[in-house]
Amino acid sequence: MLNIGLGAYRTWPEDEYGRSSAGWRPGLSDEEVYAAGNGRWKLGTRADRERYVLFSAMGIVVLAVEIDRISAPDPDSRRTVHGTVLKPGSPVYDKYVGRESPVEKSQNPVQYFDSPFDRTGCACGCGEVVPSGRDFLPGHDQRAIHDRVKLVGGVLPFMEWFDATWPGAGPVR
């Protein structure tokens, strides 16, 4: 899960991204916090695998958002989170909003942490749960490949099938 730490609220004339505020102050509505907090952040590819983002101010979570998408990087490598503001009754909202931030304050406003809400099933189909940012438990990716190779009768038939199916793949022999 992503956590973005917000500084003091400030405003300015609207910029080229349509933004005119950033940060947090008491009394802002959830939508105002979202507008002021979902600005341009240094987010790597790990962010693309996250399902939720929390916005924290003064050590308290003030907003929870389910991520719909994250923009492509701008020329300065900054990205914008787009999502749905969560309300009371959402398990993520109820666990985090109004409570102490799950991460320690840092110089970097963007932090990642493992949350049970971000966990998904292992992609091999074993039914085990993996932490956010991962598709497989250790070794399960290899097991999934080997299981699929067996389905087509072994390595050589798998390679022949793959080479015939995948554009640009080379011949087996």
- Give the span between the Cα atoms of 153 and 151, in whole angstroms: 6
How large is the C-alpha radius of gyration of the chain? 21
pLDDT in tens, the chain (173 residues): 999 999 999 999 988 888 888 999 999 999 999 998 888 899 988 898 899 999 999 999 999 999 999 999 988 889 999 999 999 999 999 999 999 999 988 889 999 998 888 778 899 999 998 877 788 999 999 999 999 999 999 999 999 888 889 888 777 66
The span from the CA of 125 to the CA of 166, in Å, is 24
Angstrom distance (rounded) from CA 163 to CA 90:
46
Domain ranges, ordered by start, for the chain: 2-118, 121-165
pTM value > 0.85: no
Q: What is the pLDDT of residues 55-64, one digit of tens each?
A: 999 999 999 9
Instruction: Give the integer Cα–Cα distance in Å for 171 and 160.
Output: 7
